[in-house]
A and B are shown apart, each in its own frame.
Chain A
Amino acid sequence: MFRKLSPVVLAAALSAPSLLSAQQVTKKFDYAPVNGVQDLKFELDRVNLNQIVFKPGKSLGAGVRRSDASAEIRIDNNGTVDKIVGVAVVLFDGDGNVVAAGSGGTRVGYLSAGERDTAAVNFPFVFRHMDKAKTFIVTMELQEKTK
């Protein structure tokens, strides 16, 4: 029975919709990094995004088209509750074209109360015009640890 149940439970777990509602906020910034680094002021429910580091990249070479372009965002949980954090970053040029887009965040477990983490956001396939970025938007998505 147990052997029969396990795959069923696993399948149910895999197929269960994951769209639990989460808190979310979005903010737009001018693209103005200095040596790739730009300070942000961005808070939702005592979780702060206060710095982003842009790393424009290039194709990995030898026929591989993926790029190593990325951004790193520093996340501080200044609250008293552990949280799951997701961050989306979209860079636009002056004409409104997306020149890079991606997401990063909590991979496993939670960002514990009082802790700091860095989320890596990769831009592997749309990166060739990243040097033309003029603005970017950041969306932060939060889900609290259920008690």
Chain B
Amino acid sequence: MSLRRMGLVLLAATIAAPAAADQISKKFDWNPVGGVQDIQVEVQHVVVGQINFDLGSTLKGTPVRKSSANARVRVDNNGFIDTEVGVAVVVFDEEGNVVATGSGGTQWGYLNKGDRAHYTINFPYVYRNFDRAKSFLITLETKEKGRKAPGPTPTPAP
């Protein structure tokens, strides 16, 4: 195989190589001021820079049990590629119980390069001990435009 042909094959393989979504998790002490806490979680130039916790409420005197508790995260795409974004938040008490959890992110299309978005993460069913929060875990999951999920590993030819 000529050097040029080998180079083309390598280039094609690089372009076609399926890449999984990227992900990072980071834990923070619970320390919001007026519900707002600055944080820094970054993957592929996509940054979660702030989270705003809302302890929410329920409709008292009704049989509805869902709560309006939520967190709102600010996400900046500081990169050069439009990206799908997912953010998971897990809030723990001192004993490691989950007092609230959920996920939010891109509903439709992409978070375009250079853009900022706010995603709401609802905590509808586990929220009653939210006031005992001591720490929280943020996971940021991104998938750049044009990337595909990894396919099955091919069986080597005999």
Binding site for B on A (CB under 8 A): 13-22, 24-26, 63-66, 84, 86-90, 95-109, 119, 123-129, 137, 139, 141, 143
The one of A66, A90, A105, A129 that contacts B125, using a Cβ cutoff of 8 Å: A105
The one of B66, B88, B96, B131 that contacts A98, using a Cβ cutoff of 8 Å: B88
> Given that A18-B56, A90-B90, A101-B90 are contacting pairs, would A64 and B97 also be in contact in the complex, using a CB cutoff of 8 Å?
no
In the complex, A5→B128 CA distance in Å?
28
> In the complex, which residues of chain A have a beta carbon less than 8 angstroms from the beta carbon of B143?
128
Query: Which range holds the interface residue count of chain B?
Result: 35 or more
B98 near A88 with CB under 8 A, answer yes
A128 near B149 with CB under 8 A, answer yes
> In the complex, which residues of chain B have a beta carbon less than 8 angstroms from the beta carbon of A15?
57
Q: How far is the CB of B41 from chain A (nearest CB, A)?
A: 11
Binding site for A on B (CB under 8 A): 20-21, 23-25, 55-61, 63-67, 69, 84, 86-90, 93, 95-109, 119, 123-131, 137, 139, 141, 143, 149
In the complex, A127→B124 CA distance in Å?
19
B108 near A86 with CB under 8 A, answer no
A102 near B128 with CB under 8 A, answer no
> In the complex, which residues of chain A have a beta carbon less than 8 angstroms from the beta carbon of B25?
95-98
The one of B66, B86, B90, B95 that contacts A128, using a Cβ cutoff of 8 Å: B86
Q: How far is the CB of B121 from chain A (nearest CB, A)?
A: 8
Nearest 9 CB-CB pairings of A with B: A125-B105, A22-B128, A105-B125, A139-B98, A98-B139, A125-B103, A126-B88, A125-B86, A103-B125
The one of A24, A104, A128 that contacts B141, using a Cβ cutoff of 8 Å: A128
B125 near A86 with CB under 8 A, answer yes
Q: Other than the known A97-B25, A126-B87, what 6 A-B pairs have Cβ atoms closer than 8 Å? A: A18-B127, A21-B128, A105-B65, A119-B125, A139-B97, A141-B126
B108 near A63 with CB under 8 A, answer yes
A103 near B101 with CB under 8 A, answer yes
A108 near B90 with CB under 8 A, answer no
> In the complex, which residues of chain B have a beta carbon less than 8 angstroms from the beta carbon of A25?
97
Which A residue's beta carbon lies closest to that of B131? Answer: A19
> Given that A13-B60, A90-B90 are contacting pairs, would A106 and B128 also be in contact in the complex, using a CB cutoff of 8 Å?
no
> In the complex, which residues of chain A have a beta carbon less than 8 angstroms from the beta carbon of B100?
88, 103
Q: How far is the CB of B131 from chain A (nearest CB, A)?
A: 5
In the complex, A104→B96 CA distance in Å?
19
In the complex, A34→B66 CA distance in Å?
31
Which B residue's beta carbon lies closest to that of A95? Answer: B25
> In the complex, which residues of chain A have a beta carbon less than 8 angstroms from the beta carbon of B104?
125
> Given that A22-B128, A139-B98 are contacting pairs, would A101 and B103 also be in contact in the complex, using a CB cutoff of 8 Å?
yes
